[in-house]
Amino acid sequence: MSNTSLSNTTPEKINLLGYDLAHMKAFFSEIGEQPFRAVQVLKWIHQFGAENFTQMSNVSQALRAKLNDIAEIKAPEIIAEQKASDGTIKWLMRLDGGNSIETVYIPEDNRGTLCVSSQVGCALDCGFRSTAKQGFNRNLTSAEIIAQLWVANKALNPLAQSKSDTIQGKVQDSKNRVITNVVLMGMGEPLLNFDNVVEAIHLMLEDHAYGLSKRRVTISTAGVVPALKRLREECDVSLAISLHAPNDRIRNEIVPLNKKYPIKELLEACQYYFNGDTKKKQFTIEYVMLAGINDSEKNARELAFLLKNLPCKINLIPFNPFPNSEFDCSKMQTINRFQDILYKAGYVTVIRKTRGEDIDAACGQLAGKVKDKSRRIKFEKTSG
């Protein structure tokens, strides 16, 4: 269980926004109340968007007063909203001091995807990511992670989650959902903030909160192998692997984490993640197309060979440039040829459509503001 206090929170008040059901039950039992209160309060916060305890009309007045004294519901505040011509919306949310994070909503015909951040900045130093160039400051708390859904829901659907008491009993049913999918593909490496990410995901999946299916929540990771193993035991949501290279030589250059967990170990961990589970059909391999780095026909054939026997589909991501990036995006013709080779080798291969480009909301362009950039980790090869 994580520390969910937000920094500009009055220290003595407990922020309940990031508590999953187990944590919430423990909290109520600690203050001498019945565990069923946990379900009530969870619904108020996440399904009805309650911002304080006074709104919780089916909770006794005495308990509401007690909760007001000791606890709070505190989320980061939106400081900027940008809408792209394709309907993509990017929010900048203020955390403590100089830190802020970005969250992106991507509407499509049959779904709405929220791209959520898990850290302020990123420690992994992947050369082609502007977030990485920002350095790393700290992990987000579970409250700050789930708050991105809570805040986005309100911004997207202000009437459905009004502040009035009359909202009691109104559930956020699957038909009315604006956010149908969540991808942890914003700022940060989710598996390096394991406990807080998992607690927030529990809330995403929890019927009394957001009730999303495991299939619709995706963790994207550069490949923190031991954490992948843990994830399978604790919360086996959908998986996207930022592979980006067909061999260790190239991957060491563009994803330094590879020096610690090379491709073979990573793919074995993916295999393990799926073993014995017939419901999960496949995971996604993400492959950013970098001109002259990883985009040759030979690279495509190497990739096809590397992934054989793995239950995966491939997303080719056109590189989104940012100021001072050292890379260029592959030519469209090259990307098409790459796709064709993988397709002929039997892989479902999709070229990801770039969304929200005019507001810098596309993959890898999220930057927020990182106050202290000094905490980047260097990953070196280890023996085990």
- Catalytic residue IDs: 102, 363
Residue (185 or 228) nearer to ligand SAH, CB: 185
Find all residues with CB under 8 Å of 265, minimum gap 6, and list them.
Answer: 225
Identity of the residue, 42 or 228, whose beta carbon is nearer to ligand SAH in the bound complex: 228
CB of 213 to ligand SAH, least distance (A): 21
Sign, CA torsion 220/226/227/232: positive
Instruction: Give residues in contact with ligand SAH (CB under 6 A).
Output: 128-129, 185, 189, 220-222, 242, 286, 288, 317, 319-320, 363-364
Q: Which is nearer to ligand SAH, 141 or 320 (CB)?
A: 320
Q: How many angstroms separate the CA atoms of 225 and 180, rounded? A: 28
Task: At 162, give phi and psi (nearest 5°).
Answer: -80, 170
Query: Which residue lies nearer to ligand SAH by CB, 142 or 284?
Result: 284
What is the C-alpha R_g of the chain?
Answer: 21
Nearer to ligand SAH by C-beta: 227 or 363? 363
What CA–CA distance (Å, rounded) separates 163 from 48? 8
Beta carbons within 10 angstroms of residue 207's beta carbon: 13
The residue (of 199 and 286) whose beta carbon lies closer to ligand SAH is: 286
The residue number with the shortest CB distance to ligand SAH is 364
Contact 45, 102 (CB under 8 A): no
- The span from the CA of 192 to the CA of 198, in Å, is 11
Contact 187, 368 (CB under 8 A): yes
Closest separation in Å from C-beta 245 to ligand SAH: 11
Q: What are phi and psi of 15, to 5 degrees?
A: -85, 115
Please give the DSSP secondary-structure letter assigned to residue 43.
I
- Within 43-141, where are the H helices? 61-70, 130-133
To 5 degrees, how large is the angle CA 149–CA 155–CA 161? 85
**Whose Cβ is closer to ligand SAH: residue 14's or residue 317's?**
317
Other CB atoms within 10 A of residue 311 CB: 14
CB 70 within 8 A of CB 139: no
State the Cα–Cα distance between residues 93 and 312, nearest whole angstrom.
34
